[in-house]
Amino acid sequence: MNFDLTEEQVMIKKMMTEFADKEVAPFASENDREEKFPWDIVKKMGELGIFGTVIPEEYGGGGFDYISHAIVAEELGRVDSSVRGIYSVQISLVALTILKWGTEEQKKKYLPKLANGEILGCFGLTEPNSGSDVVSMQSSAVRDGDYYILNGNKMWITNGGVADIAIIFAKTDKSMGHKGITAFIVEKGVDGFSSKDIHNKLGLRASNTAELILQDVRVPKENILGNEGDGFKVAMSALDNGRYTVAAGCVGLAQGCYDVAKKYAVERVQFGKPIAGHQLVQELFADMIVEIEAGRLLVYRAGHLKNKHLPHTREVSMAKLFCSEMVNRVAYKALQVFGGYGFSSEFPIERYYRDARINTLYEGTSQIQKLIIANRELGISAF
Ligand SMILES: Cc1cc2nc3c(=O)[nH]c(=O)nc-3n(C[C@H](O)[C@H](O)[C@H](O)COP(=O)(O)OP(=O)(O)OC[C@H]3O[C@@H](n4cnc5c(N)ncnc54)[C@H](O)[C@@H]3O)c2cc1C
């Protein structure tokens, strides 16, 4: 077993730490306050190849390994979860899904542009009345010659209002349960396809979240991702990738919470010494760092399995479950270190605290992760 990062991973970490500190962190607070989508940062990420990481070089990506992918998500998540979310969706939910399920034509058409940030993608699975229970979705796709006609609404879609392409899941056969779902690539601008931004979120306020509306949208049959009826499998494999970068982002955000709390604790003096010198404050730091490091190891283990192309659904769900709950505990404790100042926007900890909350909810709630893990353990599905 080797716990060391490779030279390439060390270099990527260094580059991403600098990028996050210089190009992302200074704008995070204002973007959060004003709900401003960080177009400038997205443009720079595209130019630097940050959206290409794990995409193979033949499709315009960087050909990085999955630990490096986690490191990028970690470093972005350390300073701005909204930016980390944009990265996660673009690569994990969209590009990697096209890489795994797309035809050669689809890969050549979309992957280089996703990798260099020329286009943004989004992933439309959730609906107003279908969240955890994906199979209950109402969106439909009806064959009409060389086209499918899509109707339905998708809810809470990250990048939904800014994306150029969307992976949309819809039922091609309502009688077939999970085998009746199909995935489509839908391009922005096509008649009947629109979006409505969702505002005033608790966290991730600089990230775009939208409802997608599909009214008689004509999608050519060449835009099916995988085969007709493969949609559920496509969605689950995408979520295996998505949850991985969510977990890594949680480790990064928890580290960000820890770092700002540490700086404050050594500077703030109460009872004649830095608060870091009080035993109960030290307990907060010990609790935080043990959890952060445990989370990081769970993420890297899942990444190791991904690098080896071994089954990893159980390990990714474990990492997602632990890290998403962990980051909320860490954010709570880090904010406690700040006392009343933690309750103001003077320090980034209040944004980190709000941003932590989403992680136990999206890409499968904590309850759903537990059911996935227990199913693997017991061989009995609770769904
Ligand atoms: C900011 C944000 C961004 C998002 N981005 C995307 C995106 O890009 N693409 C996308 O498709 N979706 C996205 N989502 C949607 C997200 O994945 C869903 O909100 C999530 O899957 C939960 O679904 P739901 O909200 O309908 O909750 P529900 O499924 O209604 O769950 C409500 C509660 O019931 C519990 N529950 C449900 N079923 C069970 C069960 N069988 N056993 C035990 N407990 C259960 C849940 O754990 C939860 O606590 C996003 C959501 C948000 C808030």
Q: Which atom of ligand 1 is nearest to the CA of 364?
A: 21
Q: Which residue puts its alpha carbon closest to atom 11 of ligand 1? A: 125
Q: What is the predicted pLDDT for the residue at 116? A: 97
Establish how many alpha carbons lie within 13 A of residue 218's alpha carbon, considering only the half-sphere containing its beta carbon: 5
Task: Determine the distance separating the centroid of ligand 1 and the alpha carbon of 362, expressed in angstroms.
Answer: 6
Q: 361 CB less than 6 Å from ligand 1?
A: yes
Q: What CATH number labels 7-120? A: 1.10.540.10
Q: Looking up tokens 């306050």, which residue turns up?
A: 33
Task: Output the pLDDT for position 381.
Answer: 93
- d(CA 341, CA 282) in angstroms, rounded, equals 19
pLDDT of residue 173: 97
Q: List per-residue pLDDT tens for the chain, 383 residues long.
A: 889 999 999 999 999 999 999 999 999 999 999 999 999 999 999 999 999 999 999 999 999 999 999 999 999 999 999 999 999 999 999 999 999 999 999 999 999 999 999 999 999 999 999 999 999 999 999 999 999 999 999 999 999 999 999 999 999 999 999 999 999 999 999 999 999 999 999 999 999 999 999 999 999 999 999 999 999 999 999 999 999 999 999 999 999 999 999 999 999 999 999 999 999 999 999 999 999 999 999 999 999 999 999 999 999 999 999 999 999 999 999 999 999 999 999 999 999 999 999 999 999 999 999 999 999 999 999 98
Provide CATH code, domain 233-378. 1.20.140.10
Ligand 1: which atom is nearest the Cα of residue 158?
8
Catalytic residue status for 105: no
Residues ≥6 apart with Cβ < 8 Å to 161: 195, 196, 197, 208, 209, 210
Contacts of 101 (CB under 8 A, 6+ apart): 183, 225, 226, 230, 234, 237
Give the torsion sign (CA, 84, 89, 93, 99).
negative
Q: What pLDDT, on a 0 to 100 scale, did the predictor assign at position 135?
A: 97
- The answer to whether the CB of 327 falls within 8 A of the CB of 366 is no
Asked, colleague to colleague, whether 122-230 and 233-378 share their fold, the answer is: no
Give domain 122-230's CATH superfamily. Butyryl-CoA Dehydrogenase, subunit A, domain 2 (2.40.110.10)
Q: Which of 81, 126, 245 to mutate to test the pocket of ligand 1 (most atoms within 8 A of CB)?
A: 126
And the tokens for 34?
């004003």
Q: Where are the domains of the chain?
A: 7-120, 122-230, 233-378
Amino acid 1: pLDDT = 85
The predicted pLDDT at position 123 comes to 98
**What pLDDT shows up at residue 165?**
98
